[in-house]
Amino acid sequence: MEDIYLDRKVDTEEIGKKLHNLFPSLSVFYYDFKDIPPTDLDIENSNQIFFNTYYQKEKLEFGFTISIYRTPDENSNERAMFIAKSFSDSFKVRTLVPYILPQNPQDPYYDIIFDNGKIFLADDCSTSFGDDTDGIIKIIKEYNLNIYSFDSYAKMSY
């Protein structure tokens, strides 16, 4: 499962199309867990993925969450970065993925932000996003991060 945070809402139809373009061998469904599941969705079928969205208007930034289910268990963090970068580039929106800084793995407040073709390391301590206070996310620096590629089945390409 991958969670991607966006700085504004994006239409679920557009999200579904983009996920299908990224992983064309998979069937993509929107399912919000509130209504009856789509009739063709078979959660036992490994060639199907589904997503839902959640919007928190009280968040100052990154209040729109996209959660993607049924992707392969392996390389989930790397896949989240790949998807977030692609969404940022396609939808012209800032995207965020929580990040574990290798030099400081105990600190839960690091994030990667994709914005206008650039990658930033950020800190969400004392922010509306990180711990429901009133601050905004602090950009630490532009960051060099290897974004891996994934095949049509959402598996890492080596």
25 lies in a domain? yes
The sign one gets for the Cα dihedral 52, 58, 59, 61 is: positive
* Mean per-residue pLDDT of the chain: 95
148 lies in a domain? no
At 27-49, the pLDDT tens digits run 999 999 888 889 999 988 999 99
128 lies in a domain? yes
The residue behind tokens 């009856």 is 36
147 lies in a domain? no
At 84-101, the pLDDT tens digits run 999 999 999 999 999 999
Full-model pTM: 0.94
The residue range of the domain holding 114 is 2-142
If one counts the domains in the chain, the total is 1
